[in-house]
Structure 1
Amino acid sequence: MNEIFKKLKGDLLEQLSDLDEKLPPLERLSATNHIAAKAINTIKETLKEQEFDSEEDEIQFYKFINPEILSHPIEEGIRYNILINEPIHTVENIVKYYEDELKVMQSFFRMNNFHYQYFKNNFVELDKIYFTNYTGPLTIPLPEVPYHIGYRCTPMSCLFAQFIANERIQHFILQQIAKTRHWVPGFAENFQSDGFPEIKWTGDITNVVELAYGIHLTGQINNGNASLNQIVRWLERSLKINIGNIQKKFTEIEGRKRLSFTRFLDRMKQEILRKIDSDNS
């Protein structure tokens, strides 16, 4: 059953990635909630009709898949409230406003420190209690489910969704502070703060898509817990490019008939081997 939910999560991330970042906050919130509501309803109906294949599948769903799906409407709701309450004032006061919001996020993590450390370190010892329909005696406190979503959600699964959303909101707040100060981290015009020239991707965009899928499928970031969408957005920011619809780009890769599907990664491999041969000759 988890294959259904994994595909659902992928479709959700693809639809959300297509949303225009420049949409007004209310429009973006409405669009996100609409997309997420369809995914949540699919989960509800699927859970009514099917059971998990094993306890491990149930844990995997409530620990990883469900929190990621639920995190997006949570994140967008927080982002909306932050944006509409931004004061019309001096740069210093606006920055202070965002810094105060950042403190709120940090306070939330401190208040839930035990569970947050379980989340951050990917501990497994309490998974049966946290992520299954466990009915045995409890020796540790569990958080209350903060809202009703139409299907059984373990309290810790919902809290993990909040952790994911709040972590992304922290990055959003830092971006807003940088934007308010007219400062881009690490870059200024054509030079970085350390005096070195600006670095940006000038190759084929499809090559970056190969790279993104390679990083995602081999679990190189955040112990394999980073979503494909997160990796793509990270590469876009780091390489100063706009990848656009990644699924369409991947379709281009799948459509390669005469050449290798992974010709960019193959070329990288060949160049590294050539370099090794050259150094050893």
Structure 2
Amino acid sequence: MNDKIYTIESEATATDVLQLSEKCIKLVKDTLETIRTIVLEEDFKNTQDEIYFFKNVKPQVYSKLIYYAKLFNIESKRPRGSSKPQKKYLDYQIVRLQDYFNDNLEFYQYFRRGGTSLDLQYFIRGKDDIRLHPDNFHFFTDDKFSTSHDSTVATIMAYDMLIVYLKQEIDKLENIKGMETIIKSNQFSSKLFWTASKTDLIELIYAIHSSGAINSGTADIKEMAIICEQIFNIDLSNYYHTFVEIRSRKTNNTKFIDKLKESLIQRIEESDE
């Protein structure tokens, strides 16, 4: 599903966001239906598997459905014309999304800190206590494929991605002239090619930015990405989106950075021999 979404996003233009959303909504709905069929036919071997699925697996898929449906709604009502009313509209949408986190603060903090003590209540089917449901009606309409909070996790993930997208759009409106200057002033030919994955390079860019190693931490992440694209002859596409996926990794958020460290240590040790 993610590979197909990447293909759809890669082929879409900046003005095709509504068509892109419609295509991705259909794709995710079909994926969810396939997964639902598998779950109903095979079920889970134990409680731990069920918790893992409804806490980690289903939300990863369902969040994309929420994301693209909400994106379609936001973009279809976005004002046209000058940047000022657009920025005001996008800022308002960010505030509305953040209100959801505040309205579900207790669970939001539980999820963010990696809590597990209430997983039996939150991520097992059949826990039909109305007090456990923040605003999840899916549990009542499809209790064989929903728990009290799996859609809440998906909504948190989706809103994270939407906030990143909206901030990116605001950046575009604020930096149109500035970005044109950057691109024109840095047009040069490089014979270097990035041969690791795009995700690895994006992880590296964010690591360098976070360390404050460039401009004492005040560098624009977008400018850094553009420069890296030019140096390494690569198109990083939606790096904001990719960073959200890096941040949501369950096992290792710094996989490439760790690999770099191991490689350097090995080279140092080999040089000392």
Fold-level similarity (TM above 0.5): yes
Distance 1:57 1:238, change over 3 A: farther
Q: C-alpha separation between the residues in 2 aligned to 1:36 and 1:74? A: 10
2:47 to 46, 49, 55: 55
The match for 1:155 is: 148
Q: Report the 3-state secondary structure (helix = DSSP H, G, I; strand = E; otherwise coil) of the residue aligned with 1:155.
A: coil
What is the RMSD of the two structures over their aligned residues, measured on CA atoms?
3.9
| Alpha carbons 1:71, 1:161 under 8 Å: kept | yes
Aligned ranges 1:124-139 → 2 under 5 Å: 124-135=116-127
* Alpha carbons 1:205, 1:243 under 8 Å: kept: no
Report the count of equivalent residues: 222
5+ residue gaps, structure 1, are: 1-11, 216-234, 245-264
Matched residue, 1:79: 71
Aligned to 1:206: 195
Question: Displacement of 1:30 after TM fit?
Answer: 1.9
Query: Alpha-carbon deviations, 1:36-68, whole Å to 9, x = none?
Result: 122111122112211201111000000000001
Distance 1:208 1:78 in 2: 29
Are residue 100 (structure 1) and residue 84 (structure 2) matched?
A: no
**Partners of 1:42 and 1:16 in 2: CA distance:** 16
**Which of 132, 149, 154 is the aligned partner of 1:141?**
132
Aligned amino acid, residue 167 of structure 2? L
Q: Kindly provide the CA deviation profile for residues 207-233 of structure 1, in whole angstroms up to 9, marking residues without a partner as x.
A: 236947x99xxxxxxxxxxxxxxxxxx
Contact 2:125 2:148 in 1 (8 A): no
Larger proportion of helix: 2
Q: Distance in 2 between matches of 1:38 and 1:59?
A: 23
1:1-281 equivalences under 5 Å are 12-19=1-8, 20-22=11-13, 24-135=16-127, 141-147=132-138, 152-182=145-175, 189=182, 203-208=192-197, 211=200, 239-240=228-229, 241-242=234-235, 272-276=265-269
**Residues in 2 aligned to 1:185 and 1:122: alpha-carbon distance in whole angstroms:** 40
Contact 1:128 1:134 in 2 (8 A): no
**Secondary structure in structure 2 of the residue aligned to 1:207:** coil
Q: Does the residue aligned with 1:273 lie in a helix, a strand or coil?
A: helix
2:52 and 2:178 mapped to 1: Cα distance? 36
Per the TM alignment, residue 88 of structure 1 is displaced from its structure 2 partner at its CA by 2.4
Q: For 2:107 and 2:259, locate their aligned partners in 1 and report how far apart those are by CA, in whole Å.
A: 42
Letter in 2 for 1:58: E
The code of the aligned residue for 1:15 comes to K
The 1:187/1:71 distance shift into structure 2, 3 A limit, reads: farther
- Name the amino acid aligned to 2:172: K
Match of 2:208 in 1: none
